[in-house]
Amino acid sequence: MPASVKNTPPPLVPAHELAWPWIATVLLVTLNLRPFLTAIGPLTPTIAATTGFSLATLAWTTQLPMMLMGIGTWLAPTVERHLGARPTVLLGLGLLLAGCLLRGWPQQLILSAALCGLAVAFVQGVLPGLIKRRSPHHVPLMTGLYAAALMGGGALGAQLTPLALAHEFSWNAALMLWALPVLPALYFAGWQLAGTPLRFQPLERGSRSLLKIPRSWYLLLAFGLMNGGYAAMVAWLAPHYQALGWTAAASGQLVALLSVAQGVAALLLPIWARHSVDHRPWLWLTLAMQAGGFALLAWQPLAAPQFTALLLGAGLGASFSFFMLVSLNHSSNPLTAGALNALMQGGGYFLSALAPWLMARLHHAGAGFAAGWQLQLGIVLLVALMVLRFDPRHYARAMRQTATNGSAC
């Protein structure tokens, strides 16, 4: 067939893949996806004192949105196919704005957390696939920027919210402030995603078909177990150190330091590994960092808290980036890769939501925070064994595998 009549889809981006408005859009949108989670931890004792909520109840401010982020991320590819990428992202950002504003009413704290979790699900269920479509030759760099902005937003939430409290804001007013950065994200997303087609390529495998592939479930399980460490840190790192005598501001700074390390590592390590086809050695490095950090938290929390936060942050942030790359690299079709990534994130976030709850139950049973960190250490070692399966030479076969014609993942 002559080249002029080939059925080749038009390029999604006529300009350069790394044009500054597109990069700005990714950064601004992604920066808003974590402050609503990390802002709660440093304020937990204050919220408990003013509302009478128990630690187990406040755990729902992390657990519930993580669960809804999971369920919603599963739904995001279907919503995108019916509405388009731009309306789906704008819907998510609009719900996030509403959820942040709802925190002005203390009795609606759990509801606002649920609304924010569902909002974030729609955005992060679509954005990685958009990155693969719009920047196909720069996926490691753009994925690193996405992950770095995700963690950077977490750092801002943990650092700035206690400062607002120290400057005479009420705790719910301090949480409401995170509605403000959603506004420029809405503007840039509306501008840059205008004209985005409903489909870029035919979808090789839909979400229902992907659910029949053992690899989808394996990615989901590994990512969920790994990300449970992040959920546990967001919920309980600050309360742990406040129980050891730290102030809300000091413990918030520790969470912020962890989030900054997450962002830097999430950006730099994928760039350093951009020529690597096999990402398993890099994943093992990030898991080793996590293991060291959780061991220090479990047995020597006061020995070097800043170093512990840096070590854990680097391990969690870079591990997130590499899991994103591994899932996206399983298919050359952007929509299929995006759907697989959404399935991994969706089920993974639902699973990781159990980590804060398990730590709360262990604490309530008298085992303290140390038992929870020891549990996370054991999970890290399990994930390190699971990473053995992510051999890129077998990605194509894994994507063809079904539950009925074999059990290999």
143-185 pLDDT, tens digit per residue, is 888 888 887 888 788 778 888 888 888 988 999 999 999 999 9
Backbone angles phi and psi of 275, in degrees to 5? -95, 0
User: Which whole number is the average pLDDT over 129-141?
Assistant: 81
Angstrom distance (rounded) from CA 88 to CA 130 = 12
Tokens describing residue 170: 């009420």
Q: What is the pLDDT of residue 168?
A: 82
* From the candidate CATH numbers 3.40.1410.10, 1.20.1250.20, 3.30.450.20, 3.10.350.10, the one assigned to the domain spanning 17-400: 1.20.1250.20
Backbone angles phi and psi of 2, in degrees to 5? -60, 150
Is pLDDT larger for residue 257 or for residue 15?
A: 257
Cβ 318 vs Cβ 407: under 8 Å: no
Distance of CA 361 to CAs 29, 206, 234, 377, Å?
Answer: 34, 38, 16, 17
Examine the pLDDT at 311 and tell me if it is beyond 90: yes
Examine the pLDDT at 386 and tell me if it is beyond 80: yes
Angstrom distance (rounded) from CA 369 to CA 274 = 38
Examine the pLDDT at 13 and tell me if it is beyond 50: no
Cβ 179 vs Cβ 39: under 8 Å: no
Task: Give the pLDDT band (50/70/90) at residue 384.
Answer: very high
Q: What is the pLDDT of residues 244-263, one digit of tens each?
A: 999 877 888 888 888 788 88
Domain regions of the chain by residue span: 17-400
Nearest 5 degrees, angle CA 191-CA 143-CA 217? 115
